[in-house]
Amino acid sequence: MIKLDIEDTQHFITESDRMLLLACAQAAVNTEGYHGPAVAFVKITDDIEIQTINREQRGIDRATDVLSFPSVSYPEGVTARNAADLLAEAYDPEWNAVNLGDIILSVDHIRAQADEYGHSVSRETGYLLTHALFHLMGYDHMEEADRIQMRAHEKAALNSTGIQREEETTLTDEELITLAYEAREYAYAPYSGYKVGAALLSEDGRVFKGCNVENAAYPNTYCAERTALVKAVSEGARRFTKLAITGSGSTPYPCGACRQSLYEFAPNLDILIAWDGNVIKTNLSELLPGGFGPSSLGK
């Protein structure tokens, strides 16, 4: 659970805007997979003040839409295995939570950009807050690979809130594969040693990640794509458009049971299979020709 300490002395935003910002913040930490207590400090201001802060803190004498100042630098993100000491360092006893850092938003820029993109001020505010939160959690976009990773997270988080910028609602294949590779890092595969990650894109834009979870009683093992599917259905998603599956060393084709499970909800699901820099694009109808689904039962 994340809390926001919002400073808005000039009353730029409404109470509903505050609730939206909190929803965006929660979506961001959920997408990152961080479930511990956290807090971020958010200042709502104008171009004049943010230009002053830019000049004093960054040596850049101009206004920008958003600034983010992480309390601690997380080289591999807040959920990385080596982040525990950094999270402890950022702990704030007053809030009984990890202090992620400070975010400053310029309402002047927000209004101008909302007009440029043809959507509401609330939507642009939520977008920029989400962008800044991922900066606080260790993401950046200076290098192309880092940009792809950060944008994939932003889109996944914002799609879950329904406020993504219209022209950026759909994740690219590369971004979906990036999320699947990240899910693979959490795989539990002590018996086969073969780790698999999956990212399932729902029709409404949400992304559900999963990894393989093996079991000493082998039949009780869960494949990555079925893990993602069960998470999606349990969150109310029923229609899906694309699935990315990632592995290493060999092609991580979905097993027969996974193909059948997916066919129940998306017979024409597009599937991306990625490993070691290779990508195969296929479709569930090709992997399971003549599949048996709900329509096969008749009335």
- β-strand pairing of 197-202 with 207-211: antiparallel
Question: Which listed residue (225, 235, 264, 286) is catalytic?
Answer: 225
Question: Locate tokens 């834009």: which residue?
Answer: 205
Closest CA to 266 of 283, 289, 251, 249: 283
Q: Which residues pair with 68 in a beta bridge?
A: 103
Closest CA to 92 of 102, 81, 77, 105: 102
**Annotation marks residue 264 as catalytic:** no
- β-strand pairing of 2-7 with 38-45: parallel
Cα-based torsion angle of the residue sequence 75, 77, 82, 86 in order, rounded to the nearest 10 degrees: 80
- Quick check: 178 and 152 in contact, CB under 8 A? yes
Could you give the residue numbers annotated as active site?
Answer: 225
